[in-house]
Every structure is written in C-alpha cells, then in structure tokens.
Amino acid sequence: MDSLRVLELYSGIGGMHYALKESGIPAQVVTAIDINTTANQVYKHNFPDTPLWNKTIEGITLDEFNKLCFDMIVMSPPCQPFTRIGLQRDIADARTKSFLYILDLLPRLQRLPRFILLENVKGFETSSARVHLVKTLKECGYAFQELMISPISVGIPNSRLRYFLIAKISTEDINTQTSSKILDAFPHLPESDSPEHPTFLSPACQGASQPEEKMEGGHVLFKLETALEAQKKILQNSILSVRQIQEFLEPQKEINMEHYLLPKTLLRYGLVLDIVKPTCRRSVCFTKGYGRYVQGTGSVLQCCMETKSVFTGLDRCSEEEKLQRLLKLKLRYFTPREVANLMGFPQSFTFPEQILIIQQYRLLGNSLNVVVVAKLLQLLVS
C-alpha cells in the first residue's frame, strides 16, 4: 500500500498520530490542527516535523483543505456537548460548530478522503450530531461501521468506553456495506496482534510477573457502593485475558511519592474512592479532573497490601484514628506516565518540562486510547 496522507483534526497531544504508528499502516500526517496551545506544545515536542496549525477549523477555507490532498481524516471532536455529566446541548453547543463545518465541507471537497475515523464519548451515539454525520456519510457514498469499545477488549485494565465510527468510500451498494448496529466488540482481531505485550511497554515492565491476587472471599474496599457494583468489580478482576495494573506502573524508585500521595481530603473521600491494587485487572476512566478532584475522576493506587485491619470497625473510630488508618494504605494517584501507559502511549511519548503535572493529567484525560484506535485503523484499512 502507498503511504496514506492523513489529516489529523482536533489533534490534542497526538493520540491519533501515535495510533497510526502503532497500527503499522504506511501513513504520513500531512497536517495536525488544534486550538489548545498547551496541547500543541506537547504535540510539537513529540512530532516536531509535522505541520501543526493553531487555528479554528471553521477558519480554514475549502481551498486550503483541498491543497492538503489527504486520503484519511482522523478526528476526536469536542466531547463536552455529548457527555453525560455535561448539559448535553448537542448541536446547540457552540463547541459543535467546527464539527458541523467539517460535515458541510466534506461533500464539497475536490477529492473525498478514502477513510475516516472518528472518536467521541458515550452519548454521541444518541445525538443529533451523529444523525447529521451518518446522513452526510451516506450522501457522500461511504460505507461505515459504528462501535462502542473499551480498552478492556484489548487486554488493558482500564475502562474507557468510547464511541467510534470508521468509514471508507464504497463502490458497492451502501445498504449491503453499512451495518446499522453499533458493535460492542471488534469484528475480529488479527492473530499477529496479540494484546499480551503491546509495544508501548518498557522492557522493565514487560518482564514483570507476580502471583495472582486472591479475592479474599469477595472482600472489597468500596464501602458505599452497592452489592451489584462490588460484584461487577470482582468479576472484572477475574478476566485473565486482561493484564494486571502492575505491568503499567513506573518503578517505585523513580517516583517522588510526596507528589502523588492523597492529601488529608482522604478522610472526606476515603470511602468513595475507586481503590485498586497493582494486582487488579481493572481501573476506572481517567478524566481531565484527575489529580485535581478526588471523586469520580479515576482510580487511585493502594501501595500497602494490608486492608482488613484498616476497615474493621472504622465507622466507630474517631476522625483522627480514621485518618491514620486510611493513611496506612498509602493511597496515591497514578503518575501521568502511568496514565499514559494505560492509555497506550509509547515510552517515547514525553511532556515538555514546562508542562505542569496537573496540566498533564488534563491533557491525558482529553485524549484517547492509542491501542484501541490502532486496531480500528487496521480494521478500517484492511
């Protein structure tokens, strides 16, 4: 196959670019476009030779797009208009304006791109924006497939359920080439692409091997969750095709623990945290608020294995004693490097020195899982 010319819209920190590299597909990103100046610093740091436009998409003319002569569009439009914790204003949200501009522009391009890949949050699949997208693709002659995929499906212990659409120009009857069903798993995975040891792990991590975690008779740390939620977490930890979290962790000697240990807010939030151990096979989605807000932004790591004595009779303890007990767990945030590992970014991915840790979490929370997208690209182009 000739090298594909790829246009990367809403490029962020380069998740799509890394996915292209991970996929092994011959491709060149001819231009990346984003208005987030901090994200652009990170992108330029990692891809210094890729043209990067710091401008609004709707400010780019049809002629400028035509001159790029691209074969593929990869994009992850703003998710805030569709996320369940937002206002869900959909196409009435100003942040959807650039995406609607792309859909208006697509039929008028001098040459339609052969391939399109789009990623967004769960919720996009029921939006008016999605209806407009599907209508435009059909009118332009694309065959497409929609999927809802989480990294768990490729053996990564992180829940990040996302909507994906892959589309290619079709020369056949669209009705026979496009499935109306949104798939919840990959149609197939190439045998040569076993998820056991993806390329993003460092040699030190690849050699990690620890005994299986005992479930302690179903004992869990999450005191305020329902029995159903607790059982679900136990079941997730029992899926042996998913790797253990410890394979994605940095060596302890390389971490300044003082930067990542949970603060005294532990007393307030200690019983609603999503706590995982290195031997767990699950973690919850890391959001842009991770490291800044405690509840609902991502899992925290328990570095001390002792648990039973900590929670036994905890409700009868004084505030100070509760705090001292919880501190024994040595709960800490995952480092930005560890979050990047769980999101499939290779070891070559780094942040510029001037990017603060809190900014790194925010940028990663707005990004995507590289391994999942890489497999979708393989599926799209095959």
163 and 298, same domain (yes or no) = no
Distance separating alpha carbons of residues 112 and 76, to the nearest angstrom? 19
46 and 176, same domain (yes or no) = yes
355 and 375, same domain (yes or no) = no
241 and 171, same domain (yes or no) = no
HEC string of the chain equals: CCCEEEEEECCCCCHHHHHHHHHCCCEEEEEEECCCHHHHHHHHHHCCCCCEECCCHHHCCHHHHHHHCCCEEEECCCCCCCCCCCCCCHHHCHHHHHHHHHHHHHHHCCCCCCEEEEEEECCHHHCHHHHHHHHHHHHHCEEEEEEEECHHHHCCCCCCCEEEEEEEECCCCHHHHCCCCCECCCCCCCCCCCCCCCCCCCHHHHCCCCCCCCCHHHCCCCCCCCHHHHHHHHHHHCCCCCCCHHHHCCCHHHCCHHHCECCCCHHHHCCCCCEECCCCCCCCCCCCCECCECCCCCCEEECCCCCHHHHCCHHHCCHHHHHHHHHCCCEEECCHHHHHHHCCCCCCCCCCCCCCHHHHHHHHHCCCCHHHHHHHHHHHHC
Instruction: Report the pLDDT value the prediction gives residue 304, as an integer from 0 to 100.
Output: 83
190 and 220, same domain (yes or no) = no
List CB contacts of 360: < 8 A, sequence separation 6 or more: 336, 351
13 and 144, same domain (yes or no) = yes
286 and 306, same domain (yes or no) = yes
CB 331 within 8 A of CB 300: yes
Greatest extent of the chain over all pairs of C-alpha atoms, in Å: 72
Distance separating alpha carbons of residues 306 and 237, to the nearest angstrom? 18
188 and 209, same domain (yes or no) = no
261 and 137, same domain (yes or no) = no
CATH number of the domain that residue 14 is part of: 3.40.50.150
Both tokens assigned to 193: 């692409």
Total domains in the chain come to 2
237 and 326, same domain (yes or no) = yes
List CB contacts of 23: < 8 A, sequence separation 6 or more: 374, 375, 377, 378, 381
- What is the DSSP pairing of strand 275-276 with strand 300-302? parallel
CATH number of the domain that residue 284 is part of: 3.90.120.10
Instruction: Report the pLDDT value the prediction gives residue 198, as an integer from 0 to 100.
Output: 38
Domain hosting residue 276, numbered range: 203-363
Q: Active site includes 205?
A: no
Q: Report the interhelical angle of 15-23 vs 370-381 (nearest 10°).
A: 50
Catalytic residue, from 69, 79, 303, 304: name it: 79
Spell out the per-residue pLDDT of the chain, length 382, in tens. Answer: 789 999 999 999 999 999 999 999 999 999 999 999 999 999 999 999 999 999 999 999 999 999 999 999 999 998 876 666 655 677 667 778 999 999 999 999 999 999 999 999 998 888 888 999 999 999 999 999 999 999 999 999 999 999 999 999 987 644 435 667 899 988 864 444 443 433 333 333 333 333 333 333 333 333 445 555 655 666 667 677 899 999 999 998 889 988 898 876 677 776 678 999 999 999 999 999 999 887 789 999 998 876 667 878 877 888 888 888 888 888 999 999 999 999 999 999 999 999 999 999 999 999 999 999 999 999 999 8
Both tokens assigned to 120: 């967004």
130 and 169, same domain (yes or no) = yes
CA distances from 55 to 31, 52, 79, 81 (A): 12, 9, 19, 20
Both tokens assigned to 38: 């901090």
230 and 309, same domain (yes or no) = yes
